[in-house]
Structure 1
């Protein structure tokens, strides 16, 4: 029953340019409500081929089953905004995961595997389809917010900082803490596909709601950048991954994000134009990323000291 709180939205009317205005209006209402309350929803008929999703998951599982020395052939290159290539979570992290970071195929940052042979091409195709899905969802959010046509697209036109993760979470044992720290994403929009093991949970109304995986569904969550731009109108989604006991978890996550030098602050449409005070001070996106990364590499002893978007909140006292 809990999973029913995560709405599922059919995007086909927008992909096929259908003229069903009532259907489109209903979709926009559902997205607006989901983003206002807790920042999570799921989509179907999103334009990402289902056979591609299935093949990508199969190849990812094959890759992560290789010996460590084979995976290390894709060690990160220097110069990327994040360490592209094969990585592992730090030893002190409760996440117990390994992952492959990929940037746009033409970025020059990627170190992608040649084994299994299809993996590189499939990853690049996945990246392209996820990018188009991100653009579509961004356009719907633009409409839901009542912003001028293409406002977010023009503000966030540089796709060079988008990236995708292929993830493998190790199985939890009976005796260890199998959860990850709850968090929000710092970017604009995140798209997630998880395998049958599930594990993704969303925080809503004081409860953790499991997002049950279903073939063909993509999970969408709103990130901190959208929350700041909308001055808290749309919420960044608090979520976590609980590693299943006795079995691994595989997933893909695509981060539709901002270029690092982009200035982020509440838009006038949600502040002075409606008589509201700004709830956040502005920042360069790359500065926030650096703070978050530093916080992860040097864990805080108190949960309240972990860097989150509240770091930029303006006190009302």
Structure 2
């Protein structure tokens, strides 16, 4: 899941592009080709017909916004992404500038239970929101 940063961009000038949409209900070979093409051309894509109920997505988005709105020092309390955890990297290889923040979680419920203590102000709620998603 990718969530937009709550921080406003420094520039007033924005380039609007239409990201490719991949329909997961299509032929597996065709879907694979569309994903590869989208990754090569854009690095991102939208997905539809993925089977994740909208209420679960809405709850996860809310928890994501809550986490990424925290001060940098608070986010760093989560272990660094090696491979799981919080990460922040500079981007700019193709003329774009800025940073990308991410939070990678292991789908093991015990791992989520442990990490939720540093990710959320309400760890029990965070686990409750993530559990239906990882069980899909």
**TM-score bracket for this pair, using the shorter chain length:** 0.5 to 0.7
| Displacement of 1:105 | 1.9
Structure of higher CA gyration radius: 1
Q: Does 1:44 align with 2:48?
A: yes
Deviations 1:172-199 (A, max 9, x none): xxxxxxxxxxxxxxxxxxxxxxxxxxxx
Structure 2 runs not aligned, ≥5 long: 1-16, 39-44
Matches of 1:57 and 1:124, distance apart in 2:
14
| Displacement of 1:99 | 1.8
Contact 1:87 1:100 in 2 (8 A): yes
Listed as ranges, the matches of 1:137-216 within 5 Å are none
| Displacement of 1:103 | 0.8
Q: Does 1:9 align with 2:23?
A: yes
Contact 1:86 1:98 in 2 (8 A): yes
Equivalent residue of 1:96, what SS? strand
Map of 2:121 onto structure 1: 115
TM-score by structure 2 length?
A: 0.54
Between Structure 1 and Structure 2, the one with more strand by share is: 1
Map of 1:67 onto structure 2: 71
Structure 1 runs not aligned, ≥5 long: 12-26, 130-317
TM-score by structure 1 length?
A: 0.27
Map of 1:162 onto structure 2: none
Deviations 1:17-55 (A, max 9, x none): xxxxxxxxxx32xx5345446624754332211111111
Matches of 2:71 and 2:132, distance apart in 1:
25
Deviations 1:41-91 (A, max 9, x none): 7543322111111111111111111123322322238xxxx3422222159
Map of 1:54 onto structure 2: 58
Map of 1:99 onto structure 2: 102
Equivalent residue of 1:61, what SS? helix
Contact 2:21 2:48 in 1 (8 A): no
Map of 2:85 onto structure 1: 85
Aligned length: 106
Cα RMSD of the aligned pairs, angstroms, is: 3.7
Between Structure 1 and Structure 2, the one with more helix by share is: 2
